[in-house]
Structure 1
């Protein structure tokens, strides 16, 4: 069979199973309205939690950063590491309460590069079953003995830690701090306690926690800081800059020894052209705003509380999420697609998430909230959700 015929056959299967993905084209980043495929829609699908992707100060900083060069022109280790990158790394280390930080071009590269650098065939990696794809792939590619445990199940984690300890070798436990499709938080304090008991290293993906969660001392550091974990308890912290920071790229933060080691052994860092200086400059501005304008996070938290209260009053099927990610699990792929399409007809862009991104039978609407949303916009979404779900699924009024 020819390549094209094989590919068409597989694509047809995706269509039949209601799993085919289509790209939507926006004229500009949502703020939170956007022109999507030629229509103006109110978006509840963006990870721009603080509205910084369209913030004038971030945009001006990025424009100024472009004056340093359109690109870094080489990898960080050759001549692609500029002063603006060093400033960003210092800011990230300070924001997370770590000794040092290292910037990567994407969160995917940060996770894969870190896991593959830290682990080998003699080692063990233990992962939550609902981890992000980049952690899953990093665990596989590392060559380490890979074990998984049921989502946030501490008993299952203990059993896998014991299996790894019996086998020998280093043990790394990798989890999301905030799960991107469910919005729930990992029980990090308990996980860290188990890691201490078994002398395991803890790695947390803070993609959806960095910038919007933390402690009183480290308000931007993420869900680990919110759980009271410092560098010793959480030695490997990964965060992204394309969500709360409204930009692009990612970082790993930890001890100076960890960062020095990754510079030597993290292949996606070593063999990739450095982050464009404009991006680094925009990220620096975003972190400065996060620190100087805590009101942005307060607005986000108020919107989360308001949405959940209104959704509960409307009897919408909420999950147990206190984060900006508020999924409504509908189960059936066909229904999720139909509801999403109806919402779009009514002027709302809400993500329809289906397998393999989520487990079979758990297709969902993935609603994400931003500090930029108004209460009236949230009210309009609730009304539209209620009308469409009553039509498609007979949700009680």
Structure 2
């Protein structure tokens, strides 16, 4: 290029934030008071909360066992602050490891029945740090299309070949495993145990058999299963009897364990490798002491004699809400069959609506009626798969759930009178 030549017109890296595909939808939703996100909760995560000046039944929390306000959990958080201060100001590698971390990792490994556990500052980092480290270019990762975003982020970070399969479709999984045989590297299958939007569970018995047949490793994200499913509350892998056939299990503290953070469990050699190689573990500040102390206290409650009662109560409440909504004519997730007979309803009770705007209108009507739910729109769900994601706690009373069901009934009648019929239960049969 000659010295007199004009430089190319620069491209503004911020140009993408203006006029993106959802800008008009967001603007219209805000103008109509229909934006279901970023609403302010003014109280603790209880079954009934205060949000923006009014009491609302909380059906949008992952506080499955209701332990975030348990006095023992709060006392442990306060005690951790007294002992270690408000923050550790460094990574686990350097100055951020305390006896609380070591106790928590030891007790998680015992709870999960594995050799070792490693605690991360967030659940997102646990998935990204594990997948981005274990996988490498040349490897293949086979992932369910319904997997959590943090799983996809870890897969992309690793630069492994990604082979997704349609949600819970075993024939599609088998086809991708067949294709992976020609890829040349190691193969890892990674699935959610309980899928965070749909509330259904992965068919882990069949998935484990396919992994064994094709020589693939298996990782299960138990974020919504740990502290909910199984006799010990150890998750979907325990419930379905495949703990010894799953190589890695991930979990979080931000659901049943009433705090914030994440963990990975597995063999000693894998956990030790992650401990010295995972960038999201090595290069981030250690979790604040209060979070670690609270998680440890919540875990001890789950593992105590009280645990089975809490686990039974949250599942009983989930079934009660699911059955109540289905009786009103809503399209709700169906009970999940278990290999030995019987079925289970997880605390995530998803109501399929279909259209994004209908979901927003329903959310607003419920909110005005005193019930808060989550709204799942594309890309969190497939196109035309908008849903209202409800979730229950062990501490919801029947009186509170009945009030919520009554509001759902009134809202449905008024909505259908104005906008036409919603999808019915037959959608999931």
- For the aligned pair, the TM-score class normalised by the smaller chain equals over 0.9
* Cα separation, 1, equivalents of 2:187 and 2:13: 41
**Aligned match for 1:26, one of 41, 53, 76:** 41
In structure 1, what is the equivalent of residue 7 of structure 2? none
- Summarize the alignment of residues 182-221 of structure 1 with structure 2, pairs less than 5 Å apart: 182-214=198-230, 216=231, 219-221=232-234
* Cα separation, 1, equivalents of 2:140 and 2:48: 45
SS across alignment from 1:24: coil
- Summarize the alignment of residues 148-187 of structure 1 with structure 2, pairs less than 5 Å apart: 148-187=164-203
Deviation at 1:314, TM superposition (A): 2.3
Structure 2 segments unaligned to the other structure (5+ residues): 1-10, 336-344, 425-429
Residues 291 and 169 of structure 1: CA distance in aligned 2, closer, same or farther (over 3 Å): same
**Aligned match for 2:411, one of 366, 381, 388:** 388
- Structure-1-length-normalised TM-score: 0.95
Residues 311 and 142 of structure 1: CA distance in aligned 2, closer, same or farther (over 3 Å): same
Residues 193 and 5 of structure 1: CA distance in aligned 2, closer, same or farther (over 3 Å): closer
In structure 1, what is the equivalent of residue 279 of structure 2? 267
* Cα separation, 2, equivalents of 1:158 and 1:17: 43
Matched, 1:47 2:70: no
- Structure-2-length-normalised TM-score: 0.88
* Cα separation, 2, equivalents of 1:24 and 1:314: 27
**Aligned match for 1:117, one of 107, 129, 133:** 133
Residues 28 and 97 of structure 1: CA distance in aligned 2, closer, same or farther (over 3 Å): same
In structure 2, what is the equivalent of residue 74 of structure 1? 90
Q: Is the 8 A contact 1:335 1:392 kept in 2?
A: no
Matched, 1:312 2:312: no
In structure 2, what is the equivalent of residue 379 of structure 1? 402
Q: Which has the larger radius of gyration?
A: 2
Structure 1 segments unaligned to the other structure (5+ residues): none
In structure 2, what is the equivalent of residue 13 of structure 1? 24
Deviation at 1:21, TM superposition (A): 6.1
* Cα separation, 1, equivalents of 2:140 and 2:40: 41
**Aligned match for 2:267, one of 255, 270, 275:** 255
* Cα separation, 2, equivalents of 1:153 and 1:255: 29
**Aligned match for 2:145, one of 113, 123, 129:** 129
Q: Is the 8 A contact 2:138 2:183 kept in 1?
A: no
Task: Write out per-residue CA displacement over residues 239-296 of structure 1, whole angstroms, 9 at most, x where no aligned residue.
Answer: 0000011111000001111110101111100101111111111111001111121211
Deviation at 1:311, TM superposition (A): 2.4
> In the comparison of the two structures, how many residue pairs are matched?
392
Q: CA RMSD in A?
A: 1.8
